[in-house]
Amino acid sequence: MTEALFEFLLRQGDNSLVLGHRVSEWCGVAPALEEDIALANTALDLIGQTRLWLEYAAEVEGKGRSADDLAFLRDAYDFRNMLLVELPNKDFGQTLMRQFLFDAFQVPWLTALKSSSDQHIADIASKSLQEALYHLERSRDTVIALGDGTKESNARMQEALDRLWPYAGEVFRDDEIDIAMAKKHIAPRPSEIRQTWDATLKETFEAAYLTLSEDRFAHSGGRTGQRHTEHLGHMLATMQVLQRSYPGATW
Amino acid sequence: MYAQMVKSTGKALLSREEMSPQERAFQDRIDQGEKIEPKDWMPEGYRKNLIRQIGQHAHSEIVGQLPEGNWITRAPTLERKANLLAKVQDEAGHGLYLYCAAETLGVSRDQLFEMLHTGKMKYSSIFNYPTLTWADMGAVGWLVDGAAIMNQVPLQRTSYGPYARAMVRICKEESFHQRQGFQIMLTMANGTEDQKRMAQDALNRFWYPALMMFGPSDKDSVHSAQSMAWKIKMNTNDELRQKFVDETVPQAEFLGLTVPDEHLTWNEDTGHYDYSEPDWNEFFDVISGNGPCNTERLEARKMAWDDGAWVREGMLAHARKSQARKAAAE
Ligand SMILES: [Fe+2]
Ligand SMILES: [Fe+2]
């Protein structure tokens, strides 16, 4: 049970860590100053959430590791984030589309986690939810604005959606960890969230003049750690360089 | 100092007799410590100088995101990563306040960007230096934000209202940045041999560029008199530089680091440190485009602007369409 809970917490923490890292790559080069500020803010929220999830994960694991140990000293196959969040930023359109697909899941997911039988999880969820609601409002508005905007912005957003779509469904494939969590009323099965997510997407993409594919194919392997994309290793090489190069140093 | 070589309009300081009655009344208001507000009459030279100074300052804030952004993805702990992100976000916010202050003088943010991208406007020379190790995040916060504070605290009393008010908000955050930078330096200076080496190396590389932030020596600074009379510059370059040296040297000693100046000595008579001047040839090289990172910094900003054009156009088109749809519905 402890092991399943640990895995579950890694999934939460790694999603926010990996996405937070990706978003932070935008620092100083966003399309407008307001976006620089907003992207930094999103990254900051996600890194803050990471600390809460990974601190609890480390505590549950009980092997004396810290949140930083988990973030900076695990290799790619020990990461449990969904593939979607590790994909490269590409242009601003793909970055915001990825953010929207994630936020649209994260809001109902954290809302459900607020009633977790595990009080610590319920507390982290309710704090994170405030931020996720704001992120969703922003990413949704941006997707709609750019979908509606010009011919070029519409084409770019459609391209972003098509490119990311095969990575969006991974999270809804319940596995034994999800079932174990559901049995203990720690979390719902992710598939229970799908309807809400589908509704948000439908409503948003209609307003954005974007077409959602009927195809339900979904890549998987991120949240189980079985097969990440090639991109995660490069991200970790950058992210972990100091901790790996100078073992035992305090920063 | 983020505005270090602000060219004035070229005219020498006017005497009272040479001033028009309007100019005299304006100068009287400034001398009495009144704030000038956007709707008030002001001499054209005052407006132009302010636009240059505030614009240069604003550009420095946003270009300043780049050398620190260089380490966000490599920050060694989650806490350091969050702190650095928050700092860089603050700097973008400072840019925003300052562009808004400049807009009250009748120049748009897009116009100012245009002037940055075409090289007509400058930003502080300090951001043309590379950040090479994690200790540079300490050195930048400690020395660069520290030098910025020296300059900006007096600017809270500057004569132009919107600029003075922007400075009040900015200064609070800058002192926080400086403390955060000093904390990084302290951790490194007390760390492993590698970390100590990084800390000393960062101080070696950033000491003189930080001194250059205050601009050329007073004897070579031709543009100051009018700006000081207008209270858009509050102290001379050398005054501020001396103050910075006096405050920073004891901090370096506390860190156990060596300031890279063999002539640095405490002078009992003056009550100040005697120190070596930076290499002014290097300074003028950097200012004229030949610093280690000038090309890359400007390239990064221009690329961000060009790559983001479709986003800004899309947002604008959507705003117009929404407005039209709303109007049609009424
Ligand atoms: Fe700043
Ligand atoms: Fe700062």
pLDDT digits (tens, 9 = 90+) for A116-125: 999 999 999 9
pLDDT for residue B157 is more than 70: yes
Closest by Cβ to A51, choosing from B73, B76, B78: B78
Residue to test with chain A: of B303, B318, B326, most A Cβ within 10 A = B318
Contact B109 A33 (CB under 8 A): yes
d(CA A230, CA A207): 34
> Considering chain B, what percentage of its residues have pLDDT values greater than 70?
97
Contacts 24+ apart (CB under 8 A), B45-48: B45/B8, B45/B9, B45/B11, B45/B226, B46/B230, B46/B232, B47/B105, B47/B106, B48/B9
| CATH number for region A2-245 | 1.20.1260.10
CA of residue B90 to ligand 1 center, whole Å: 7
Residue A155 to residues A102, A150, A161, B229, Cα–Cα distance (Å): 21, 8, 10, 55
pLDDT for position A99: 98
pLDDT for residue B9 is more than 60: no
pLDDT digits (tens, 9 = 90+) for B211-240: 999 999 988 876 678 899 999 999 999 999
Contacts of B298 in chain A (CB under 8 A): none
Contacts of B67 in chain A (CB under 8 A): none
A34/B contact by beta carbon, under 8 A: yes
Pick from B280, B248, B279: nearest CA to B264: B248
Contact B72 A24 (CB under 8 A): yes
- For range A15-28, the mean pLDDT: 97
Contacts of A248 in chain B (CB under 8 A): 192
pLDDT for residue A1 is more than 90: no
pLDDT digits (tens, 9 = 90+) for A63-100: 999 999 999 999 999 999 999 999 999 999 999 999 99
d(CA B201, CA B195): 10
pLDDT for residue A140 is more than 80: yes
d(CA A137, CA B100): 26
Evaluate whether ipTM surpasses 0.95.
Answer: yes
Q: Is the dihedral of CA A182, A186, A190, A191 positive or negative?
A: positive
pTM here is: 0.96
Ligand at shortest distance from the CA of B58: 1
- For range B126-141, the mean pLDDT: 98
Contacts of B62 in chain A (CB under 8 A): 28, 33, 36
A180/B contact by beta carbon, under 8 A: no
pLDDT for position A204: 98
pLDDT for position B12: 65
**For residue A151, what is the nearest residue in chain B, using CA coordinates?**
B314
pLDDT for residue B128 is more than 80: yes
CA of residue B127 to ligand 1 center, whole Å: 12
**For residue B81, what is the nearest residue in chain A, using CA coordinates?**
A47
A155/B contact by beta carbon, under 8 A: no
Closest by Cβ to A148, choosing from B81, B88, B321: B321
pLDDT for position B224: 77
Q: Is B273 helix (H, G, I), strand (E, B) or coil?
A: strand
pLDDT for position B223: 67
The answer to whether A210 touches A156, Cβ cutoff 8 Å, is no
pLDDT for position B220: 80
pLDDT for position B14: 80
| Most distant pair of Cα atoms in chain B: their distance | 78
Q: What is the nearest CA distance from B321 to chain A, expressed in angstroms?
A: 8
Q: What is the dihedral of CA B50, B221, B115, B58, to 10 degrees?
A: -60
CA of residue B233 to ligand 2 center, whole Å: 20
Ligand at shortest distance from the CA of B181: 2
pLDDT digits (tens, 9 = 90+) for B64-89: 999 999 999 999 999 999 999 999 99
pLDDT for position B327: 94
CB atoms within 10 A of CB B93: 18
Closest by Cβ to A44, choosing from B86, B304, B316: B86
